Structure 1
Amino acid sequence: MNMIKEFEGKIALITGGSSGIGRATAIAFAKKGAKVVIGSRRERESQETIEMIKEIGGEAIFVKTNITQATEVENLVNQTISTYNRLDYAFNNAGIEGILGSSIEQSEENWNQVINTNLKGVWLSMKYQIPQMLKNGGGAIVNNASIAGLIGLTNASIYCASKHGVIGLTKAVALEQATAGIRINSVCPAVIKTDMADRAWNLDDREAREQTVAVHPIGRIGQPEEVANAVVWLCSDAASFITGHSLTIDGGYTVK
């Protein structure tokens, strides 16, 4: 007996869906029955995600996208509409850690790159996603922030600034769209097992990894699927009364 999938007939757009949290979320949406659009700069890795979705019976397309460029973000959304004729959910996930180090040693180039990707990219994504969702009578957007949007992290001042900005942007736009049927929330993961975390936290080094695990009271780092499940839930009808919220997914990191 075939069960009706919750997101059957719906379209989900994920930026940065080529790996890590983005890939896990793309697969999670597909498992729920949604057709998936992946916007990313990395074609080979994104195609791997699409193959994973096809293996579970899902459908997905890839649109090469640099989210710092308005014309490319507009094209991503336009390609979504031309292919599937609607947009219901979006996970604005693409981001970079940039060069980590003392704030006084940071370059203007690094500032621009991190802010343009992590903050401007989210703003541009919503700018073009929201008008299409309004045509459907509503939708749901989740922006990927971080615990770095809630607290300060040493040697990550620019990254923290970008992620604090994502949370503020999410709240403001959520208020703008509150009566229009579009719910907008953010997720704030701690250290999740991804390539970015491996680089930023030096997880390949045993001592560094043990130290990183130790700051998570739950006793381990997170898995991409754990964030993906939260994103999908925030987009579902089960979260229908939630907007402007920042959902912390951190194994207790920020509890202390």
Structure 2
Amino acid sequence: MARDRPQRPAGVARGFADHLRLARCTGGQTVTTTTTTTTTATPVTQRAVAVVTGAARGIGAAVALQLARQDFDLVLVDAPSVDAIAGLGYDLGSQDELQEVAALCRALGAEIHVMAADVRDEAALALAVELVEPGRLHAVVSVAGIIGSDAPAWEFSRADLDRDMDTNFHGVANLARVSVPALLHAPHGRGRFVAIVSTAGETGLPRLAGYVSSKHAALGYIRSLAADLGPLGVTANAVLPGSTRTALLQRSARVYDLPDVDAFAPHQRLARILEPSEIAAAVGWLCSPASSAVTGIALRVDGGFVG
């Protein structure tokens, strides 16, 4: 019996090989510029495409490189400015860093589009998906995340909690809303949605109630997404990194007045800090055909986190 496939949503572009859109999103508004290129001399490739958020540095950059090595073309997304989130207290990844990652991926043979977009802005994320021709989007990886305020749990204001939730939970849900309809057009059994969560998604941490709550919410969302997508041939999984050498871990060290990130090493059985490439290797497997029977899991890549 033929399987009824969902209709492609209106507005899904045909232009991954034909144009580059740079979406700059500020204050909920999106401005898009388009650069048209000529492709008559070069056949359009039909490699699979992945969208990666938080791709300017850390785990997101490592995921981009991993997927480029796995012959994905990529749409790389990160915040439009280092201070896109007010009151954060540290810089987000920059567009210059994102361009550097893009150059490294191109050197590996991947076709790359770069987009400046805030994951809190659903319309901006939709533009990233619209760059991909129908049927070519095989993987979506949500990496963008923050640590907002730090305080005892009862001192978190509604605004403090919302700051973490808007990026760490709603950023994942926004990305799923705009990308799943396109993933449903991938060959049956090949669509992949992966969210980088955290070991904090399954435990409690002092002074980080906003971060911990948002990660629990994101993990619950992924499990429900997997339940909904299972019969449709798309998998959804979460990766839970332990202490990994990133800017976010540097922020964590400041929360606890630690001299450097290596002070977290004793909390993992491997007694060392993980590297972003180690997390990316797990993501690469989840995005590969080899993981076709895996969905709805929380894959702990945590060095044996013991709290």
Q: TM-score, normalised by structure 2?
A: 0.76
2:50 aligns with one of 12, 29, 33: 12
| Alignment of structure 1 residues 177-196 onto 2, 5 Å | 177-196=229-248
Aligned residues: 245
Equivalent position of 2:167 in the other structure: 117
Larger radius of gyration: 2
Unaligned runs of 5+ in 2: 1-45, 80-93
Equivalent position of 2:110 in the other structure: 58
- Looking at structure 1, the residues matched to 260 and 116 of structure 2 have their Cα atoms a distance apart, in angstroms, of 35
Report whether the alignment pairs 1:97 with 2:135: no
Counterpart code for 1:26: A
* 1:144/1:187 contact within 8 Å kept: yes
Unaligned runs of 5+ in 1: 1-7
| Alignment of structure 1 residues 61-100 onto 2, 5 Å | 61-81=113-133, 86-100=136-150
Counterpart code for 1:134: L
User: 1:89/1:155 Cα in 2 relative to 1: closer, same or farther (>3 Å)?
Assistant: same
Counterpart code for 1:90: V
Deviation at 1:206, TM superposition (A): 7.2
Deviation at 1:64, TM superposition (A): 1.1
Equivalent position of 1:3 in the other structure: none
Counterpart code for 1:35: D
1:98-121 CA-partner distances (Å, limit 9, x unpaired): 122212222322211110100001
- Looking at structure 2, the residues matched to 22 and 235 of structure 1 have their Cα atoms a distance apart, in angstroms, of 14
User: 1:132/1:209 Cα in 2 relative to 1: closer, same or farther (>3 Å)?
Assistant: closer
- Looking at structure 1, the residues matched to 100 and 156 of structure 2 have their Cα atoms a distance apart, in angstroms, of 35
Report whether the alignment pairs 1:168 with 2:220: yes
Deviation at 1:37, TM superposition (A): 0.7
User: 1:206/1:170 Cα in 2 relative to 1: closer, same or farther (>3 Å)?
Assistant: closer
- Looking at structure 1, the residues matched to 160 and 258 of structure 2 have their Cα atoms a distance apart, in angstroms, of 29
- Looking at structure 2, the residues matched to 170 and 239 of structure 1 have their Cα atoms a distance apart, in angstroms, of 16
Other structure's SS at 2:303 match:
coil
- Looking at structure 2, the residues matched to 217 and 134 of structure 1 have their Cα atoms a distance apart, in angstroms, of 39
What RMSD in Å do the two structures reach over aligned CA positions? 1.9
Equivalent position of 1:34 in the other structure: 72
Other structure's SS at 1:135 match:
coil
User: 1:23/1:106 Cα in 2 relative to 1: closer, same or farther (>3 Å)?
Assistant: same
Deviation at 1:76, TM superposition (A): 1.7
